[in-house]
A and B are shown apart, each in its own frame.
Chain A
């Protein structure tokens, strides 16, 4: 992986405002290292989703610099962005499933977008649905699924293409604790295969479930530890106090 010595993702003094309002994100600087597992925590409204939107290339920041995969993605022309989006997997907070497509076709979507032959799709998607416990719902359309089921389809879709970076916005918000744990295990399995994982959650109990994870805390649009511990988290030392507690 060339050009990512400084991290697979690098934010430097990033600020974001919607329209002419005050900034919802200010002075955001951090580096994500390849193969690490990050939690992004913070109260509701702290700016987690906004930060992730920058990360999954749905939004340009108002200021600052963002490098991904060794490339400055801010100055990149928009026609160059799809290639970068395909290297990401995203679980959107509101799932964003295509409502008239079956669970199967929703999960298959990233593979089809990047041109994987249909022969290579069938089994991969079936296996993935099996893994999230939805094999029996493969033909169901999202509106007929429960919130938790929809969330699992969204997760299956995010990880099906083996992304280099997985970005998940409150991915366990709608499932029971057992399923939450199971989904976290899926993320961990993916993480062990080399995927960098970023999970936004306001659920502090989740943090303890992933021992080697690193924690970034957002507070009113700012990373709460600007001294640098979170900025360049050294591997074990970065565990936050609340996790050890």
Chain B
């Protein structure tokens, strides 16, 4: 290809300037909009997939090896006593990395939205269990869970143990399904975009068939002619891609704000980081590349039918 570089330099002038050699090679009418919509949808689907991935990663990291010990006991004094015994017992075990008693104030704050301010006040308040976050070294298996429960129940009769991963498993499955859905959508949208660009390139080719044949007979190379198409279609793809990116990214940011405003720890882990944004930003570039490649292949295919 290096040997073609002087020709390429010449081609900058060829067909450039002054209205252009090609007529209607631009993606006229709705085409830039179609590309814009496709890119916007792809951006949203990709952003959703990436956000779900982050969310799953975050949650998984947070709860891997994690379990919750509750002390469900009506009398506050007895509850406090059992909780202290449990903490001491757990802290002394070799296979446990971390033990943290969730402070009552934090618990109250968690529950407030559901039960109201009054819930935690006074002696007649609805009893809140004592909560202890525990982190195993290594994953939580059923066997380890049973063993720990036996050890704990001996001295803390009101203890209940839940592995966090256990009750979250269906959530992870749902997230994985959604991610596959997002991947499928991205693939379908890319294919549809390519098809739309292909049709546009073909119609542009049709309305310029005479010009192509003339340039061909005057000694224009396939590459020169294909480049003319690539360039004019790239212009429209860039416009469509930029508009699509703005629309899609705008929607994603707006949705992200709303989810963040929910204040839920779970959803907060679903934000996009810089790498994700770079990936999303690459989508319109991919659209432009697809458009140019399709245009080139279409034109080269038509040219190969001429001598």
Contact = CB atoms under 8 A, between A and B. Distances in A.
Nearest to A115: B10
A115 B18 contact: no
B13 A98 contact: no
A6 interface: no
Contacts of A113: 14, 215, 218-220, 224
Interface in A88-127: 88, 90, 92, 96-101, 105, 109-110, 112-115, 117-118
A105 B214 CA distance: 13
A110 B21 CA distance: 12
Contacts of B307: 57-60, 78, 81
Contacts of A56: 217
A110 B7 contact: no
Nearest to B221: A82
B210 A82 contact: no
Interface residues of B, number: 28
A162 interface: no
Contacts of B18: 105
B23 interface: yes
B21 A101 contact: yes
Interface of A: 56-60, 78-79, 81-86, 88, 90, 92, 96-101, 105, 109-110, 112-115, 117-118, 157
B305 to A, nearest CB: 11
B13 A85 contact: no
B84 interface: no
A115 B14 contact: yes
Interface of B: 6-7, 9-11, 13-15, 17-19, 21, 23, 210-211, 213-215, 217-222, 224, 304, 306-307
Contacts of B224: 113
Given A82-B221, A115-B6, 14 more contacts: A56-B217, A58-B307, A79-B221, A85-B218, A90-B218, A97-B214, A98-B210, A105-B18, A105-B21, A109-B21, A109-B215, A112-B15, A113-B215, A118-B13
24 contacts: A57-B217, A58-B306, A58-B307, A59-B307, A81-B307, A84-B219, A85-B217, A92-B217, A96-B214, A98-B211, A98-B214, A100-B19, A100-B211, A101-B21, A109-B21, A109-B214, A109-B215, A110-B219, A112-B15, A113-B215, A113-B220, A115-B7, A115-B13, A117-B13
A139 to B, nearest CB: 11
A99 B14 CA distance: 17
Contacts of B220: 82, 113
Given A78-B307, A82-B219, A86-B219, A98 B11 contact: no
A39 B143 CA distance: 101
A47 to B, nearest CB: 18
A38 B17 CA distance: 39
A117 B10 CA distance: 8
Contacts of B218: 85-86, 90, 109-110, 113, 157
A114 B6 CA distance: 11
Nearest to B220: A113
A195 to B, nearest CB: 16
Contacts of B15: 112
Contacts of B19: 100-101
Contacts of A84: 219
A155 B17 CA distance: 24
Nearest to A81: B307
A83 B21 contact: no
A115 B221 CA distance: 12
A99 B219 contact: no
